[in-house]
Amino acid sequence: MGSTYGKIFKIATFGESHGVGIGVVIEGCPAGVTFDSDFIQSELTRRKPGQSRITTQRKEADEFEVLSGVFEGKTTGTPIAMVIRNEDQRSKDYSHIAAQFRPSHADYTYQVKYGIRDYRGGGRSSARETAARVAAGALAKLMLAELGVSIQAYVSQVGTMKLDKSYQELDLSETENNAVRCPDPEMAQQMFDYIDSIRKQGDSIGGVVNCVVKGTPAGWGEPVFDKLHAELGKAMLSINAVKGFEYGSGFDGVLLPGSQHNDAFYTDENGGVHTRTNHSGGIQGGISNGEDIYFRTAFKPVATIMQDQESVDQFGNVAIVQGKGRHDPCVVPRAVPIVEAMTALVLADFYLRNRSAKL
């Protein structure tokens, strides 16, 4: 139950961090969508480990294999299965915590829920699972691109270092030109140096990923429990290490009176309806209004640090957890494609749900 997402465009991910591999099965993808293998591989490459010295040094090519659902470069309408094999497991790095509960990890909660857990890199709770989401999200991106919908995420904050510019003021094409994935080159360098200093201290730091969606038609979403922004929030909060989500004006919206916060409508020269401001973040009443959708996702500091921490083991004894293994000192640079992928999965599902409602 907990490994599936979507109503029509549905995915189910499988596999563990140190198992044979990870993968995804996609159901509900329409037939005839161009399956661009190079694009899907490029999205996985954006997420893969070992990209720079401020990411985990685990070496995985993250090359995917298609097992079903694709023929002559097109989706067939049947379930699509993709697998990514693990190549650089070092399970021995985790033998010392086989019975220990690492602070702020899922070790304790998995043990309580299941009575058993895969301690090798966190098993199913590892962020390695998100590679499967990126593969599925890349296919969703391809489908959405045919509809004119584009998704762009970027790093806007690392610790206290915050990019105080709106996305309209930034050249988002600069995002992929640095290891941090911040579109402001000067701030990106400062963030890189800061993350590197945190890494050298054996510590970790959190950050924020912003995301902008352009080209979404008005009318996607549901009016009550499956509001578009609620599903985006659920999708973001399902990503490892996420602690917060806000869309549109978010928490800052409480600073404005309604007279300033309301988005006034107008009709353009072609008869299209738009809003003069976009505090709503492109969503009103849980349904897209045709304006840009934008939101922020907050990531906590990575729980594994290269410092000794006090904890307990599964027998209730006091234990000292020693930081070992290969881990990101800051997750947000590699989280950018994950945020985009989950956004694409939400929008692809709502597109198909909206289409079916009109049949």
Cβ 46 vs Cβ 40: under 8 Å:
no
Cβ contacts of 241 within 8 Å, gap of 6 or more: 127, 206, 299, 300, 302, 303, 331, 335
pLDDT at 57: 62
Cβ 212 vs Cβ 294: under 8 Å:
yes
> Across the strands, what pairs with 154?
210
pLDDT at 10: 98
pLDDT at 90: 59
Tens of pLDDT along the chain (359 residues) come to 689 999 999 999 999 888 889 999 999 999 999 999 999 999 999 998 766 777 766 667 789 999 999 999 999 999 999 999 988 655 555 677 778 888 888 888 989 999 988 887 677 888 889 999 999 999 999 999 999 999 999 999 999 999 999 999 999 999 999 999 999 999 999 999 999 999 999 999 999 999 999 999 999 999 999 999 999 999 999 999 999 999 999 999 999 999 999 999 999 999 999 999 999 999 999 999 999 999 999 999 998 888 988 988 888 899 888 877 667 899 999 999 999 999 999 999 999 999 877 65
Please name which of 176, 16, 14 lies closest in space to residue 79, comparing C-alpha atoms. Answer: 14
SS (H, E, C) the chain: CCCEECCCCEEEEEECCCCCEEEEEEECCCCCCECCHHHHHHHHHHHCCCCCCCCCCCCCCCCEEEEECEECCEECCCCEEEEEECCCCCHHHHHHHCCECCCCCCHHHHHHHHCCCCCHHHHHHCHHHHHHHHHHHHHHHHHHHCCCCEEEEEEEEECCEECCCCHHHCCHHHHHHCCCCCCCHHHHHHHHHHHHHHHHCCCCCCEEEEEEEECCCCCCECCCCCCHHHHHHHHHHCCCCEEEEEECCHHHHHHCCHHHHCCCEEECCCCCEEECCCCCCCEECCEECCCCEEEEEEECCCCCCCCCEEEEECCCCEEEECCCCCCCCCCHHHHHHHHHHHHHHHHHHHHHHHHHHCC
Please name which of 143, 141, 123, 124 lies closest in space to residue 44, comparing C-alpha atoms. Answer: 141
pTM of structure: 0.93
Largest interatomic CA distance in the chain: 72
Q: Which residues participate in the annotated binding site for FMN?
A: 124-126, 240-241, 285, 300-304, 326
CATH number assigned to the domain covering 91-355 = 3.60.150.10
d(CA 4, CA 21): 18
Q: Which residues participate in the annotated binding site?
A: 47, 53, 124-126, 240-241, 285, 300-304, 326
pLDDT at 356: 77
Q: Which residues participate in the annotated binding site for NADP(+)?
A: 47, 53
pLDDT at 287: 98
